[in-house]
């Protein structure tokens, strides 16, 4: 295997590992939102997901590793085609946007419920 192919495999492996990490963070955010709680781990996971979203959007809604894959000889410039099913990789943004919206709504609900609870507690205690 030549040097460029080996680098391309490394980039695709790195991308797949990053994708799994980001999706694990997304799953945790959704889980805590459904459970009605937020904590520091949820905040850290949200920073990871938000960072990935900002990078993706700032790069014209393309993965920044696409150009790297193209430079290494991948005709399609895809970094997901080797370890994810093609239909899934092609539709990742369409799958991810509803998940992001659900996470925001769930955690807005958590924040609102906590704010109402704190407000009621202050009224009862006179503080």
Mean of the per-residue pLDDT values of the chain = 85
User: Digits of tens for pLDDT over the chain (127 positions)?
Assistant: 588 888 888 888 888 888 889 999 999 999 999 998 888 999 999 999 999 999 989 998 888 888 787 887 777 656 555 567 778 777 888 888 999 999 999 999 988 888 888 787 777 777 6
Reference 69, options 59, 83, 80; nearest CA is 80
Measured in residues, the chain has a length of 127
Domain of 40, in residue numbers = 3-125
pTM of the shown model: 0.78
CA distance 82 to 19: 13
12: region left, alpha or beta (phi > 0 left; psi from -120 to 50 alpha): alpha
Q: What phi, psi does 67 have (nearest 5°)? A: -65, -40
Domain total for the chain?
1
Helix (H) or strand (E) run with residue 76 in it: none
């Amino acid at each position: 295997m030549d040097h460029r192919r080996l680098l391309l495999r490394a980039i695709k492996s790195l991308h797949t590992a990053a994708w799994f990490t980001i999706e694990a963070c997304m799953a945790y955010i959704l889980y805590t939102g459904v459970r009605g709680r937020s904590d520091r781990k949820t905040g850290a996971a949200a920073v990871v997901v938000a960072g990935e979203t900002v990078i993706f959007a700032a790069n014209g809604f393309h993965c920044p590793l696409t150009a790297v894959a193209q430079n290494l000889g991948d005709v399609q410039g895809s970094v997901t085609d080797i370890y994810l099913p093609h239909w899934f990789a092609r539709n990742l943004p369409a799958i991810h946007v509803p998940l992001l919206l659900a996470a925001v709504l769930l955690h807005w609900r958590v924040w609102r419920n906590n704010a109402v609870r704190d407000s009621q507690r202050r009224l009862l205690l006179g503080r």
